[in-house]
Amino acid sequence: MKLIVGLGNPGIQYTATRHNVGFRVVDRIANAQGWGWNDKRDNAVLAQGLSDGEKVILVKPQTYMNESGRAVGPLLRFYKLPLEDLLVICDDLDLPNGRVRMREKGSAAGQHGIESIIAHLSGNNFARLKVGIGRPLYPRQDVIAYVLGIPPREEAEALTKGEERAAEAALAWVKEGVTATMNRYNPDPAQPKRPKPAPVAPTGGQEVAGKPAGDKIDVEAGG
């Protein structure tokens, strides 16, 4: 069994904000899989089903972002799951808008929802999937107002693509595990792949054009 938690704030006024990336990603998963948000438990709404034979429970805490641990901690204990079976999806100011990055474990890095979950679980050995929302364009812009704001159209389109990629990555984590998912989804899809290096020309001591190693190659001097 896997628990996938999308972080956000409850309430229609927050639905389209940058901070509600996590809610939107788990909504995408639920919609794609045909799972309904039919259950409630421990300050959260739940949707569940099977993905590649594995039971998956999607979670949207209803505690507001900064108190997310109040929902996640009791759920993990109720289902008797180790931290390794938990994936938390959230926004990230330090990633470019729409970029996706998975981490196996680590600190909260200033994300208050993650901070709350770590505090309630007394550990940070759980995976997290971050979707970049970028930093405010103007240095003096209030960060809280920024994350609780609704992005303009062009920015929202890039963010939507990131959310779609994150939904794919979350299900890949269920099937393939964290390392394989990081290798596939952490690289920037907009960056071209590096070309393979050209083969190195043979040097002395190697076989060249069918001649055994050590033989000299005769070259005629020009007129």
Positions marked catalytic = 19
For the chain, report the end-to-end CA distance as a whole number of angstroms.
Answer: 79
CA 25, distance to chain mean position in Å, is: 10
Task: Retrieve residue 34's tokens.
Answer: 């045909």
Q: What share of the chain is helix, strand, coil (3-state, %, to 5)?
A: 35, 20, 45
Phi and psi at residue 128, in whole multiples of 5°? Answer: -135, 140
As a whole number of angstroms, the distance between CA 203 and CA 101 comes to 43
Amino acid at 71: A
Rounded CA gap, 83 and 105, in Å? 10
Strand-pairing partners, residue 40, are: 45
Alpha carbon separation from 88 to 179, 195, 214 (Å, rounded): 16, 34, 60
Task: Extract the tokens encoding 84.
Answer: 């390794």
In Å, how far from its chain's centre is CA 200?
38
The upper half-sphere exposure of residue 99, i.e. CA atoms within 13 Å in the direction of its Cβ, equals: 17
